[in-house]
Amino acid sequence: MQRKLRIGYFAHSLRSDWNNGNAHFLRGLLRALHCAGNEVTAYEPESAWSIDNLLAEGEGPKALDRFTTLFSDLDIQTYAADDTNELWRERLRGMDLIILHEWNPPELASLLVNLKEELGYSLLFHDTHHRASSSPESFAQLGLKQFDGVLAFGRALEMIYRERFCLNNVWTLHEAADTTNFHPLQEIMREPLVVWIGNWGDGERSREIRDYLLQPAEALAPEARTRIYGVRYPQEGLESLRAHGVEYAGYLPNFDAPLVYAGATLTVHIPRQQYTQVMDGIPTIRVFEALACGIPLVSAPWRDNEELFRQGDFAMATSPREMLDGMRTLLREPHLAQEQAARGMETVLARHTCAHRAAELIDIVKEIRA
């Protein structure tokens, strides 16, 4: 019988999903690793950007309390910035695998590299963002050549690490749906409502939001209402929503997304420009989560280069006009919407759950330790 692993995962935050989409997948991945019998501990700073913003949010403290209850099976340990090397040496003693998420400072990477040989653990770097492409200079101090490898959340990002950073041990580990939380809630009555759960960000998809959501939403009224959930919407963004008749509902804890999807007719996917250009082929985790909940989805343009999905799992628009037409079809043809939703959910359950990714990660670790 194979020995289970002791795994330590360093995240910016699992407790907070405020403008932190990484928390979605990492919560599910660590839960799946735990359910497979591994001993998993997550480490995150006591105070950090996402958790601090969550606690400043009106419903943030309540969301944190609910997260603690819903994910009581996760062992999350917080640490202070001035914790000593000796303290870390004792914490990490006996670990088989340490994973450092990319949203962490170089000082932490240096600490883990320095303890690696002494404590004998394997060390992986996990990247689920676009900074390796958009700001590669920020990775210069991480010492990635001293890691045992890199986990990249898409083939395009894997190639960036291989070609730009000259690393050989790089594996693709896509994000996936945490189906312990994301699944259909059949008892909810759907209404003619389009929902989008997404943050405004730094303007890297402002035009896409306008062209592929706000303008179609205005054209759909009064046949259907449109509601947006998310944070970091500037005043000009909020004014644009109002001008197009779109309701803004603010911050939504990620574990409440299935309830939102259950009461809506359809949702949309609007990728950031980095994922339609330099890192083409990587969908946001919202695609996996929405399809796992059994809601029809219409996507703004992107190329599924890795064939993660089957044709018909969701509707792909190549123009704002096609986006509007696709939304209208799903609103007016309930049987087509139901067939599409069922097909998309079937693909996620067969290929893209956190349990699948946990098994893939264990296979990667076996390859490293061999």
Query: What's the whole-model pTM score?
Result: 0.96
Say if residue 95's pLDDT is above 60. Answer: yes
Tell the residue number behind the tokens 């004792």, with chain if given. 90
Say if residue 94's pLDDT is above 80. Answer: yes
Whole-number pLDDT of residue 276: 86
CB atoms < 10 A from the CB of 146, how many? 14
Say if residue 255's pLDDT is above 80. Answer: yes
DSSP 8-state code for residue 315: E
Mean per-residue pLDDT of the chain: 95
Tens digit of each residue's pLDDT (9 = 90 or more) over 99-124: 999 999 999 999 999 999 999 999 99
Tens digit of each residue's pLDDT (9 = 90 or more) over 12-33: 999 999 999 999 999 999 999 9
DSSP 256-303: GHHHHHHTSSEEEE---GGGTTTTTT---HHHHHHHHTT--EEE-S--
Average pLDDT over residues 224-249: 97
Q: How confident is the model at residue 273 (pLDDT cuts 50, 70, 90)?
A: confident
Contact 58, 84 (CB under 8 A): no
CB atoms < 10 A from the CB of 312, how many? 12
Tens digit of each residue's pLDDT (9 = 90 or more) over 142-198: 999 999 999 999 999 999 999 999 999 999 999 999 999 999 997 677 889 999 999
Task: Copy the structure tokens of residue 264.
Answer: 């809506």
Whole-number pLDDT of residue 303: 94
Whole-number pLDDT of residue 187: 67
Say if residue 264's pLDDT is above 70. Answer: yes
Task: Copy the structure tokens of residue 302.
Answer: 């992107």
Helix %, strand %, coil % for the chain, to 5? 45, 15, 40
Separation of alpha carbons 245 and 265, rounded Å: 18
Q: How confident is the model at residue 43 (pLDDT cuts 50, 70, 90)?
A: very high
Whole-number pLDDT of residue 131: 79
- Percent of all residues in the chain with a pLDDT value above 70, rounded to a whole number: 99
Say if residue 1's pLDDT is above 70. Answer: no
Q: Which of 187-196, 256-265, 291-300, 314-323 has the lowest mean pLDDT?
A: 187-196
DSSP 17-44: -TT-THHHHHHHHHHHHHHTT-EEEEEE
Say if residue 137's pLDDT is above 90. Answer: no
Whole-number pLDDT of residue 186: 79
